A = this chain, B = another copy of it.
């Protein structure tokens, strides 16, 4: 029995009209990613291959905030983060601040398999593209008119002080804005769909998780969110569960959120659904918003969120696929 879940980000209601063209396109994108992952699992493939296949489709789809179509930094560049992990061996790979590699998740997979290093960032990560078999592209490849518009809206909003107070010191660097800005930004109030991710349980009972993102609109170049951080945005352990997060990355870094779920299962001996419910109670208390997808070795899938909506889809062997764009 296999199980697979994917997400295309959590945030404020991502689709204004659930019957409109945008909703239809997002549904089609989620459906294609789910099918790509499911094909791997149907062919007795590994959970690791399945989550990578699903995330690759979402990276290539310009509608989602990962790979092509990622949100942009303050400098109007795309800086991409991704990670993936295998629950059997605890092998993991992560990349951050990638600017010239078509599929960051493929770089992360390369590190997982072939490198003594788990986590590589910046130009060094981009230089890996050739050996990792990932196509090298110019940064322009990632940039879409829709994301440029979002960045302009973000800048206008910031200029008008609508995103929270900023200090003179902060203005000089762009990194030091008051926390209120980050809160708004982290949840994509400028209209960004969030991070993408996938979790899977294969027929052999093994788990894997993968996450990929462009981060948050108007982020400072050099900012690393939760997505490439093993434990924060991504975690997989056959003894517990596989988790991929989306939402308020800075909070998920502080709560080590993906591993927190696994630890509640492993050390607290809670079933996955109860572990996740307890974690969300705490996140809501901390005013951290977002969502996650998780699967355990029994094939239980949970897809909760405390934001207004989350793009998500799931399928279990022999069952119907579900796709939600609200």
Q: Which residues of A contact B (CB under 8 A)?
A: 85, 90-92, 94, 96-97, 110-111, 114-125, 127-128, 130-131, 167, 169-170, 172-173, 175-183, 185-186, 219-225, 229-232, 235, 250, 253-256, 259-260, 263-264, 267-268, 286
Write out the residue numbers on chain B whose beta carbons fall within 8 Å of the beta carbon of A116. 177-183, 185-186, 250
> A149 CB to closest chain B CB, in angstroms?
22
The answer to whether A229 touches B90 (Cβ under 8 A) is no
The answer to whether B117 touches A97 (Cβ under 8 A) is no
The answer to whether A115 touches B222 (Cβ under 8 A) is no
Write out the residue numbers on chain B whose beta carbons fall within 8 Å of the beta carbon of A254. 85, 90-92, 118, 230
> A112 CB to closest chain B CB, in angstroms?
10
Minimum CB distance partner of A275 in chain B: B267
Docked Cα-Cα span, A119 to B259, in Å, equals 18
Docked Cα-Cα span, A232 to B178, in Å, equals 27
Q: Which of A128, A175, A268 has the largest number of chain B CB atoms within 10 A?
A: A175
Minimum CB distance partner of A117 in chain B: B223
Q: A96-B224, A117-B175, A117-B223 are in contact. List 20 more A-B contacts (CB 8 A).
A: A90-B254, A92-B253, A92-B254, A110-B176, A114-B169, A116-B179, A118-B254, A119-B224, A120-B220, A120-B223, A121-B121, A122-B122, A123-B222, A128-B175, A229-B230, A229-B231, A230-B256, A256-B256, A256-B259, A264-B267
